[in-house]
Amino acid sequence: MTRDAETPIRISEIFGPTIHGEGVLIGLPTVFVRTGGCDYRCSWCDSLHAVDSAFRDTWAAMSVDDIWGKVTRLSGNRPLTVSLSGGNPAIQPLGPLIARGQAEGYRFALETQGSVAKPWFADLDVLVLSPKPPSSGMMDTDWDALQLCLDAAAGRPATVLKFVVFDDADYAYARDAAARHPHLPVYLQPGNHTPPGGTEVDAAIDLDGINDRMLWLIDKVTADGWFAARVLPQLHVILWGNRRGV
């Protein structure tokens, strides 16, 4: 047994099956395994309950067996896609969980900002790299760290870039990042500017504002002839706002 297989994984929540709400997996029936902890703190984070240490007492240290037992109960033992999210799931020892699930026919997708590379990235079915734009308030992106993530993936999972876009600076950032990696598919989504409060039902979502940003983003992409990019909404936000567990 490997050391990682014995190391508990910090879990914020496990829920589903529901449809995936964004990017390359949009609309796909999915069980979500959301880990606790992150090396970033974005200004518009929509999952503070999995990031902020104020919620640490709500996270559970779970074994692979415990996590997998819940996933299979939720899915009725019918293989589907398991989405590994956070926080930043790359800081957790998820390799043994991926191996366990894939042996039973499940597929695994992971989304990360690309700040931490792990060798088990190569075992994923889908890797979503979502570097954070200027509106996040984070430091300049470490492009070398992002490249290490791609190197770790070794071209095995389907790998894409996904960007949250709030304004012109974010859009320019996405275009620059995409130019650095022209072989990767690109997904753009308008940012949700209604901050969650960490409760089950949060403030009402400004759907008009999100739709206006979506239309603006579509106009930008078409005017610039950036025809390789796909512009999609956050479907889960439209349907359920900032509610957790859906």
Spell 45-74 as b/e; 16+ CB within 10 A means b.
bbbbbbbbeeeeeebeebebeebbebbbeb
Q: Is 147 helix (H, G, I), strand (E, B) or coil?
A: helix
Superfamily of domain 3-240: Aldolase class I (3.20.20.70)
Percent of the residues in the chain that have a pLDDT greater than 90, as a whole number: 76
Q: Place 246 in a pLDDT band, splitting at 50, 70 and 90.
A: low
Mean pLDDT, to the nearest integer, of 149-157?
97
pLDDT at 146: 98
Nearest to 76 by CA among 13, 11, 21, 17: 17
Give 78-99 pLDDT, tens digit per residue. 999 999 999 999 999 999 999 9
Q: What pLDDT does residue 206 have?
A: 83
Beta bridge partners of 31: 82
In the chain, what are the domain boundaries?
3-240
Q: What is the pLDDT of residue 200?
A: 41
pLDDT digits (tens, 9 = 90+) for 216-239: 999 999 999 999 999 999 888 887
172-217 pLDDT per residue, tens: 999 999 999 999 999 999 988 765 544 444 456 788 888 999 999 9
pTM of the model as a whole: 0.92
CB–CB of 79/105 below 8 Å?
A: yes
pLDDT of residue 61: 97
| Averaged pLDDT, 33-62 | 90
